[in-house]
Amino acid sequence: MEEKMRKNKIFLVFISTVLCLTFFTPKTISAAEVKLSFDHFYDHAELTKALKALEKANPQLMKVISLGKSHQGRDIWAVILNNPKTGPAVHKPGFYIDGNIHGNEIQGTEVALYAVWYLLKNYGKTELATRLLDEKAFYLILTMNPDSRDYFINKAEAYRTGLIPYDSDRDGVADEDGPEDLDGDGFITQMRKKDPNGRYKAHPDDPRVMIPVRPGEKGEYTLLDDEGIDNDGDGRINEDGLGGYDMNRNYAFNWQPNYVQRGAGDYPFCFPETKATRDFLLAHPNIMGGQNFHNTGGMILRGPGAKNMGEYPIADKKIYDYIGKKGEKIIPGYNYLIVYKDLYTVYGGSIDFLYSVL
């Protein structure tokens, strides 16, 4: 226990160091700038092209590797950033970043891609970027869920899950009753109906957008489900769409089966994407800190994910608190929260695996 606590302290202190470095190390490699556009979301083909271009322009600082294939056969790309002239990556403290573990949270990939681009673009130009790549190693998986990401971008239909067929309604058939574009406008949108006792009203600037009414205020609408019909005749609508599991409930630490937590999968790391991520993490024991990019919510989350894990050691909590409160000042509107206390219980989440296993 003492050794684990000591290791966790190193893990956390490194996160603090990444945020607070202000020293400068003279550059030893010239980084080439690749112009990327961040005014749209990159599908898998565009992301692959961007990563290859960055690697080609900065072969000494960046390495792109495929960790394996997703369910539908897309490469799961990983990036390693390091200046080898100051030492091998494995001999330096490492920091891990991933994004887009949930298929409908596509912004995480763009933020991770921006981090890669920013560090390379500013190497040799700013004190922080130069020091980071000279003294640290960065390990990034930009999209953990490339199948659902591409489905979202190309078909405008969002799924949190991966796309392995899954019998969500347990009728012996998988993925047979998902939402449909009933009005043929190219989008699957949420339906609403007029209701004088409803809890929503139209936004004054855009009547397509629903906003909740305040206490005591009269509503206009009740929100229904997404567009769709009862395809399998069981009296329910859209209860068995594509997939139906949650990769962020599939990590081995404190994992619980489906009857405890829906979407956990048959066993830890049973999905090709989470298995590839596990193998990548365990192959780099120098990783001392990590960050997962999700979206929306305005939250800076830390573990534990579940109450049964107990609380973190006091020394670790102090460092987390310092980082979280700094984050609230840096990003207005974001709140520093604990997963199980302030959000909901998560078993088998990546945040607990990173903290407890690495």
The span from the CA of 52 to the CA of 65, in Å, is 10
Tell me: pLDDT of 245 over 50: yes
Task: Annotate 62-82 with b (16+ C-beta within 10 A) or e (fewer).
Answer: bebeebeebbeebbbbbbbbb
CB 73 within 8 A of CB 135: no
Helix, strand, coil shares of the chain, percent, nearest 5, are 35, 15, 50
Kindly list the structural domains of the chain, giving each domain's residue range(s) and its CATH number in brackets, ordered by start: 2-153+245-357 (3.40.630.10), 190-226 (no CATH)
Q: Report CA torsion sign: 158, 161, 166, 167.
A: negative
Distance separating alpha carbons of residues 353 and 274, to the nearest angstrom: 12
Q: What are 274-314's pLDDT values in tens digits?
A: 999 999 999 999 999 999 999 878 899 999 999 999 999 99
Average pLDDT over residues 165-188: 86
Confidence at residue 174, expressed as pLDDT on a 0 to 100 scale: 85
What pLDDT is recorded for position 33? Answer: 76
User: Can you tell me which residue has the tokens 């960065």?
Assistant: 138
Q: What is the pLDDT of residue 20?
A: 30
CA distances from 278 to 79, 271, 285, 308 (A): 15, 11, 12, 23
Confidence of residue 31 (pLDDT cuts 50, 70, 90): low
How far is residue 188 CA from its own chain's centroid?
A: 24
Give residue 189's pLDDT band: very low, low, confident or very high (50, 70, 90): confident
Check residue 358 and give its pLDDT. Answer: 84
pLDDT at 135: 97
| 50-77 pLDDT per residue, tens | 999 999 999 999 999 999 999 999 999 9
The pTM of the whole model exceeds 0.75: yes
Does residue 127 surpass a pLDDT of 90? yes
pLDDT digits (tens, 9 = 90+) for 213-236: 988 899 999 998 888 898 988 989
User: 143: which 2 tokens?
Assistant: 């999209």
Structure tokens at 140: 């990034």
Q: How far is CA 152 from CA 69, 74, 149, 162, in A?
A: 19, 15, 5, 11
Amino acid at 283: A
Task: Pick the range with the lowest mean pLDDT from 12-26, 144-158, 184-198, 207-221.
Answer: 12-26
Rounded mean pLDDT of the chain? 88
Residue 22 has pLDDT above 70, yes or no: no
| The token pair that represents 17 in the structure block | 């160091």
- Decide: 98 and 292 in contact? Cβ < 8 Å: yes
* Tens-digit pLDDT profile for residues 34-49: 889 899 999 999 999 9
pLDDT at 159 over 50: yes
pLDDT for res 131: 97
Residue 30: its pLDDT value, please?
54
Mean pLDDT of 19-23: 30
Residue 114 has pLDDT above 70, yes or no: yes
Whole-number Å distance between alpha carbons of 23 and 30: 19
